[in-house]
Amino acid sequence: MVSIDRCAEVGVEAARAAGQLLLDRFRTDFSVSHKGAVNLVTEVDLAAEEMIVSRILEAFPDHSILAEERHSTKSDG
């Protein structure tokens, strides 16, 4: 079983990395897409989500993830 401290550590590291990505892209050009009639998503949103998801799955490959923009996984366990 994974400890809650390890989960928090991975989550914080992933969030900080994604936060740095967002800061690096702040006030730069990026593409915007529509997820729905009035629901927008940027390429930066997608990249930040992918960064977080990949770091979580690297640390916990058996975990399932449901994310806001496009990513979801379901573990076999």
Q: How far is CA 74 from CA 27, 38, 55, 57, in A?
A: 35, 28, 16, 11
How many domains are contained in the chain? 1
Cα(20)–Cα(46) distance, integer angstroms:
14
> Are 77 and 64 a contacting pair, CB within 8 Å?
no
Range of the domain at 18: 4-73
Q: What is residue 31's three-state secondary structure? A: coil
Residue 77 has pLDDT above 70, yes or no: no
- Give pLDDT, residue 34: 79
Cα(49)–Cα(24) distance, integer angstroms:
15
- CATH code (residue 25): 3.30.540.10
Give the model confidence (pLDDT) of 18-65 as tens digits.
999 999 998 888 788 877 777 788 899 999 999 999 999 999 999 999
> Are 9 and 15 a contacting pair, CB within 8 Å?
no
Q: Is the model's pTM score more than 0.85?
A: no
